[in-house]
Amino acid sequence: MKRGDRVKLEKERVDFLFIPETEEMYPEEYQTYVEVEKVSKGLCGDFRPGHFRGVATVVAKLFNIVKPHVAVFGEKDYQQLLLIRRMVEDLNFDIKIIGGPLIREQDGLAMSSRNAYLFSLERQKALSLYQSLQKGKELYEAGERRASVILGKIKEKLESTKGLVLQYVEIRDAETLDRIETIEGPVVIALAAWVGRTRLIDNIILGR
């Protein structure tokens, strides 16, 4: 657990913290894994092998230990949120999953514990993520429905930011994460980029 998180949670009057040790959760003979196949593919899944299998597995374990009625996961990790929704549905967990809205700093940067790693100049460059998504939103609101056109404009903005290395930007169905060419229902524009040595993700939902 990150330093300071406990203090922040106490201020929010959280009654219980459950912070198991790795050795308790994954003893030597551990061998069971949960895979959510389709939703784990593409986007962050292509760049972080095994990551979503780890997420699904640990969340299944935590659900069985804590037995919550509701659980909140942030929309900033949008693929993770959908993966958990899918797992809960598929494995029949009797738990209500609530998506917590993505919260931004005043200048638009999506809040993340990783932002603390950004040097001041990097912090400026990182704003391009939000600004490029805003550009996409404006195009959408002006009536553009071709994913390729919107993505083109977003990439233009991101690629013009020196020191920012785009990993991916994609427009996908907001519920299934299916690839789409023309925006009809709700979609997510999701992206990941390196700013210096920090990997950042951001997204925006359109048409919800």
Rule CB under 8 A: which residues touch a second copy? 29-39, 56-57, 60-61, 64-65, 67, 86-87, 90-94, 176
206: three-class secondary structure by DSSP: strand
In whole angstroms, the minimum distance from the beta carbon of 62 to a second copy comes to 8
74: three-class secondary structure by DSSP: strand
**Residue 37 corresponds to which amino acid?**
E
In whole angstroms, the minimum distance from the beta carbon of 78 to a second copy comes to 17
In whole angstroms, the minimum distance from the beta carbon of 30 to a second copy comes to 6
In whole angstroms, the minimum distance from the beta carbon of 200 to a second copy comes to 28
In whole angstroms, the minimum distance from the beta carbon of 90 to a second copy comes to 4
C-alpha separations of 50 from 10, 112, 128, 162, 187 in Å? 33, 22, 29, 30, 25
Residue 36: Cβ within 10 Å count? 22
In whole angstroms, the minimum distance from the beta carbon of 64 to a second copy comes to 4
Give the separation between CA 172 and CA 35, rounded to whole angstroms: 21
| Nearest to a second copy of 36, 195 (CB atom) | 36
Give the separation between CA 189 and CA 138, rounded to whole angstroms: 13
| Nearest to a second copy of 52, 140 (CB atom) | 52
| Nearest to a second copy of 61, 114 (CB atom) | 61
Give the separation between CA 38 and CA 3, rounded to whole angstroms: 35
| Nearest to a second copy of 61, 155 (CB atom) | 61
| Nearest to a second copy of 25, 149 (CB atom) | 25
C-alpha separations of 137 from 108, 143, 153, 194 in Å? 14, 10, 11, 22
| Nearest to a second copy of 39, 158 (CB atom) | 39
What are residue 171's DSSP bridge partners? 189
